[in-house]
């Protein structure tokens, strides 16, 4: 089904609101079981991971905390930099890094390296969408909601130039234009 919002058309629905909710609930149960007796710290990568992190932490049935980190390209450089850092100290903590889409893995590798240097007790990656066919960086993904192809996806926090984040489902979107 294709829906229209304003002047643009959103493509085919890839994962409905219901399917996403069910998968997030399953991940919440899995994380609750695996982190039982610990106080995991979930760190979301802003901005697109916000709905996923919010829903996931509500699906977890054990005590947990969450925080945020934002990454951007360094001005005039090919490098990355932390734009907004975590508030919580992570040394000795069990950290679950929450991402929206793992594509090439380059940004995620940078964030994982940054967080590992802070000596967490453990560090696992959880992503809403994984595109293993585009991976160039060697990165381990412990938890994933869905695998996707090279399709550009919007909705549930993912955007196209700031638009469509508010959609409750995930939709294919043509090119980035």
Catalytic residues, by residue number, are 103
Cα separation, 171 vs 176, in Å, equals: 13
End-to-end CA distance of the chain: 22
Question: How many residues in total does the chain contain?
Answer: 177
User: Cβ neighbours of residue 108 under 8 Å, at least 6 residues apart?
Assistant: 45, 97, 99, 102, 125, 137, 139
Q: Give 74-120 as a DSSP string.
A: PTTSS-EEEEE--SS--TT-EEEEEEEEESSSHHHHHHHHHHHTT--
Beta-strand relationship, 152-154 and 170-173: antiparallel
Residue 26, CA distances (Å) to 92, 113, 172 in order: 27, 28, 23
């Amino acid at each position: 089904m294709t829906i229209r919002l304003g002047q643009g058309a959103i493509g085919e629905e890839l994962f409905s609101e219901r399917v996403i909710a069910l998968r997030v609930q399953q991940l919440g149960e899995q994380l609750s079981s695996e982190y039982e007796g610990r106080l995991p710290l979930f760190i979301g990568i802003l901005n697109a991971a916000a709905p996923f992190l919010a829903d996931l932490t509500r699906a977890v049935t054990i005590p947990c905390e969450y925080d945020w980190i934002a990454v951007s390209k360094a001005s005039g450089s090919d490098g990355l930099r932390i734009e907004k850092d975590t508030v919580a100290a992570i040394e000795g903590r069990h950290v679950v890094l929450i991402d929206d889409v793992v594509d090439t893995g380059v940004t995620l590798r940078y964030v994982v390296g940054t967080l590992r240097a802070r000596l967490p007790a453990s560090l696992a990656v959880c992503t809403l969408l994984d595109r293993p066919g585009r991976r160039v960086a060697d990165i381990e993904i412990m938890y994933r909601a869905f695998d996707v192809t090279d399709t550009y996806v919007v909705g549930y926090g993912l955007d196209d130039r700031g638009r469509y984040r508010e959609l409750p489902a995930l939709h294919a979107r043509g090119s980035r234009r």
